[in-house]
Amino acid sequence: MNSLTSLWRYRYALRNLVTYDLKVRYKKSVLGFLWSLINPLVLILTFLVVFKYIWQNPEPNYTVKLFTTVLAWRFFSGAVLDGAKSVASRLALVKRVSFPRVVLPATKLISNFVDFVLALGVLALFFAAARVTVNWPYLPLAVSALVVQIVFSFGLMLILAAVSVFYSDVEFVAGNLLQMLFFLSPVLYPARLITQHPMPQLFKTLYFLNPVAPWMMAYSSVLPGHEPAVLLPTYYTFFSISIAVALVTLVVGVRLFERMEPSFAKEG
């Protein structure tokens, strides 16, 4: 677990890397930041057209729910995919300067987090303008879910970053699996569709074992009509399981990364 303490020692290097990462992402301008929101906006509008107008989803607050969960998902998949290539794309640096390599995936986690918070700010403005009522008592649950999401993401990023130094198509494989997970999580549709579905109980259990599902339900719960415990009586069991999965993933990620770290500079 040494790498986690070295993150603190190299905090200034980390800050520099994050700053440059965001500069590149936003092309050094406010307009660049707004420009970066176009992609999720187009995505959300497309989903709205398809599910709200064509498919006529009767769910109240569907628009704001989509904004919330799609942005959270974007943070997850963005961090994981950026993290996967974080070391492999910096091998030139890795071969020349000896610094704790964990700084590289950590940079991607932080820059994606900053990006998410900024997007969340825009979302909050939109909420205020649309006079969306917020279910405040569920805010602590949503924040805890975000912490779990961050822990899980970082563990996954460490695993993928290490493996992708040795196998060049990890990002591609991860991208495909993430796409599957996107549709198998209550991002586009409410969890109610699963809990009320006549499918066998086993499938439902498997569905909610996916650690992403409880986070998405937690995020939706700040919007009226989405109380997770009402939708799924065993919600807190699954939420606890997702905490355990996140912690195990982080430990495995750190261990694996530290074990493979010495040979990174020998690759490529």
Partner 1 sequence: MTGDARQDDWAIQVESAWLSFRVKRDRPTTIKEMAVRMLRGRGRGYSEELFWAVQDVSFTVRRGERLGVIGPNGSGKTTLLSLIAGIYPPDKGHVTTRGRTVGLLGLGVGFDPEMTGRENIYLNASLFGLTRRAIDERIDDIIAFADIGDFIDAPVRTYSTGMATRVGFAVAAHIDADILLLDEILAVGDAQFKQKSMARTLGLREAGKTLILVSHELNAVSEMCHRAIWLEHGRIVESGPVDEVIEAYERRYAPA
Q: Which residues bind partner 1 (CB under 8 A)?
A: 9-10, 12-13, 15-17, 20, 24, 90, 92-99, 103, 166-170, 173, 262-263, 265-266
In the complex, minimum distance from the CB of residue 115 to partner 1, in angstroms, rounded to a whole number: 18
Q: How far is CA 165 from CA 6, 100, 161, 176, in A?
A: 21, 15, 7, 19
Shortest reach from residue 265's CB to partner 1, in Å: 5
Q: Nearer Cβ to partner 1, position 63 or 89?
A: 89
Closer of 42 and 267 to partner 1 (Cβ): 267
* CB 122, min distance to partner 1, A: 26
In the complex, the smallest distance separating the C-beta of residue 75 from partner 1, rounded to whole angstroms, is 24
Half-sphere exposure of 177 (CA within 13 A, CB side): 13
Q: Which of 43, 71, 167, 161 is nearest to 109 (CA)?
A: 161
Closest CB to partner 1 among residues 99, 126: 99
Q: In sequence order, what E strands does the chain have? A: none
What is residue 227's three-state secondary structure? coil
Q: Record the tokens describing residue 211, joined without a space.
A: 């650690």
Query: How many alpha carbons fall within 13 Å on the CB side of residue 214?
Result: 30
User: Least CB distance from residue 145 to partner 1, whole Å?
Assistant: 30
CA–CA dist 157, 256 (Å, integer): 11
E strands, 29-112, are none
For partner 1, the closer CB: 109 or 142? 109
Q: Nearer Cβ to partner 1, position 38 or 169?
A: 169
Least Cβ distance, residue 81 to partner 1 (angstroms):
15
Min dist. Cβ of residue 169 to partner 1 (A) = 4
16/237 with CB nearer partner 1:
16
CB-nearer residue toward partner 1: 164 or 249: 164
Q: Give me the long-range contacts of 142-148 (CB less than 8 A, separation at least 24).
A: 142/218, 142/219, 142/221, 142/222, 144/218, 145/214, 145/215, 145/218, 145/219, 145/239, 146/72, 146/215, 146/219, 148/211, 148/214, 148/215, 148/242, 148/243, 148/246
Q: Pick between residue 111 and residue 195 the one whose CB is nearest to partner 1.
A: 111
Q: How far is the CB of 228 from partner 1 (least distance, A)?
A: 35
Q: Which of 144, 87, 156, 149 lies closest to 116 in space, CA to CA?
A: 149
Identify how many contiguous H helices and E strands the chain contains and give both numbers: 14, 0
